[in-house]
C-alpha cells in the first residue's frame, strides 16, 4: 500500500483528501504546516507528497526545497493561485505536478495514481514499447529498472517527470523532440501542460547535470530539444 503525505493548513481539505485517498486504497499521513511536514516526511518516508503552497511556519516551496535536498519523492503542489508563473516556480523547485484550488478530489487521486505508476514502471515508453534496462549515450547512462541516471560514475537524482523526459530523449538520441512529444513521454495520462512547464523541467535536468560537469540536452530554438553528444 502506497503512503501519501497530505500537507495543508486547512483541516477540511486534509479530511477531504484523506477520505478520497483512503477510498482509492492509499494510506495517508497528515501535516498541518511546513515544519510538521518535514518531520512527518522523515518519519513516514511516503511514496508521494501532496503539498499546499501557502502555509504558516514554512510554506510549500520551502518544504519542497528541504525534501529535494534528500529525496526525489514525487510532489504534487496544491495552490489557490492559478498564475502560470506560480506553476512554473513550483516545477522549477522540483514539483512533479500542480493542482489549483478549488479542486476535485477525484482529480487529485488520478494525478497521484498517474505519477506513482510512472515511478514504478519507468521502463515503459510513451507508446507502450519496452525500453532496455540500461540506456547508454556517451557519458550519460540510464538505469530504467533502478530508476537512476548517471553522468560517468556520478548518480544524478531526478524526479519522476524529469527521469521520463530524459529517458524519452535517450531512446532516440538523434531526434529533435517537440515539447508536445516530450509531454507524451512524461505524462502518461496525456493531459495538456504548457510549453513553459516542459521548459522548466528541462532547465532543472540541465542544472542538475551541469553541477557534475555535464549537459545532456541541447535547445533547438523554435523546434524543441535534442540529446547532446554527452561527451
pLDDT for 57 equals 78
pLDDT over 90 (residue 83): no
Rounded-to-integer distance, Cα 130 and Cα 199, Å? 26
**66 grid coordinates:** 528541504
- For helices 195-210 and 84-92, angle between their N-to-C axes, nearest 10 degrees: 20
* Of the ranges 19-28, 48-57, 88-97, 215-224, the best mean pLDDT one: 19-28
Look-up of cell digits 489549483 = 100
pLDDT for 182 equals 85
CATH of domain 3-120: 3.40.50.2300
- This prediction has a pTM of 0.67
Helix ranges restricted to H, the chain: 11-23, 34-44, 60-68, 84-92, 105-120, 160-171, 179-186, 195-210
pLDDT for 130 equals 54
Rounded-to-integer distance, Cα 122 and Cα 30, Å? 28
- For helices 60-68 and 34-44, angle between their N-to-C axes, nearest 10 degrees: 30
| CATH domain 134-227 topology | Arc Repressor Mutant, subunit A (1.10.10)
Rounded-to-integer distance, Cα 195 and Cα 110, Å? 22
pLDDT per residue as tens digits for the range 41-76: 999 999 999 999 888 878 898 999 999 888 889 999
At 28, the pLDDT band (50, 70, 90 cuts) reads: very high
Q: CATH 1.10.10.10 region(s) of the chain?
A: 134-227
pLDDT for 123 equals 45
pLDDT per residue as tens digits for the range 89-138: 777 778 888 888 888 999 999 989 988 887 776 444 444 555 567 899 99
Rounded-to-integer distance, Cα 131 and Cα 13, Å? 39
Rounded-to-integer distance, Cα 23 and Cα 30, Å? 16
pLDDT per residue as tens digits for the range 144-189: 878 889 999 999 988 888 888 999 999 999 999 998 888 777 765 5
| Pairing relationship of beta strands 134-137 and 140-143 according to DSSP bridges | antiparallel
Backbone phi, psi, residue 163, to 5°:
-60, -45
Residues 127-138 as b/e (b if ≥16 CB within 10 A, e otherwise) read: eeeebeeebebe
Q: In residues, how long is the chain?
A: 231
The pLDDT of 3-29, averaged and rounded, is 96
pLDDT over 90 (residue 27): yes
pLDDT for 81 equals 67
Q: CATH 3.40.50.2300 region(s) of the chain?
A: 3-120
Amino acid at each position: 500500500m502506497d503512503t501519501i503525505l497530505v500537507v495543508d493548513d486547512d483541516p477540511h481539505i486534509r479530511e477531504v483528501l484523506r477520505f478520497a485517498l483512503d477510498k482509492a486504497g492509499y494510506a495517508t499521513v497528515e501535516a498541518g504546516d511546513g515544519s510538521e511536514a518535514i518531520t512527518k516526511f522523515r518519519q513516514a518516508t511516503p511514496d508521494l507528497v501532496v503539498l499546499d503552497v501557502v502555509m504558516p511556519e514554512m510554506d510549500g516551496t520551502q518544504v519542497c526545497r528541504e525534501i529535494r535536498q534528500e529525496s526525489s519523492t514525487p510532489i504534487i503542489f496544491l495552490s489557490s493561485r492559478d498564475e502560470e508563473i506560480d506553476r512554473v516556480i513550483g516545477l522549477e523547485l522540483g514539483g512533479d505536478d500542480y493542482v489549483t484550488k478549488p479542486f476535485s478530489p477525484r482529480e487529485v487521486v488520478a494525478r497521484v495514481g498517474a505519477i506513482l505508476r510512472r515511478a514504478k514502471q519507468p521502463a515503459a515508453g510513451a507508446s507502450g514499447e519496452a525500453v532496455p534496462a540500461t540506456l547508454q549515450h556517451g557519458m550519460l547512462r540510464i538505469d530504467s529498472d533502478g530508476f537512476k541516471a548517471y553522468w560517468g560514475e556520478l548518480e544524478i537524482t531526478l524526479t519522476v517527470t524529469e527521469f521520463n523526459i530524459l529517458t524519452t530523449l535517450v531512446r532516440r538520441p538523434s531526434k529533435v523532440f517537440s515539447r508536445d512529444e516530450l509531454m507524451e513521454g512524461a505524462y502518461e495520462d496525456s493531459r495538456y501542460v504548457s510549453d513553459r512547464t516542459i521548459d522548466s523541467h528541462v532547465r532543472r535536468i540541465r542544472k542538475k547535470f551541469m553541477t557534475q560537469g555535464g549537459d545532456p540536452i541541447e535547445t533547438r530554438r523554435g523546434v524543441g530539444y535534442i540529446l547532446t553528444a554527452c561527451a
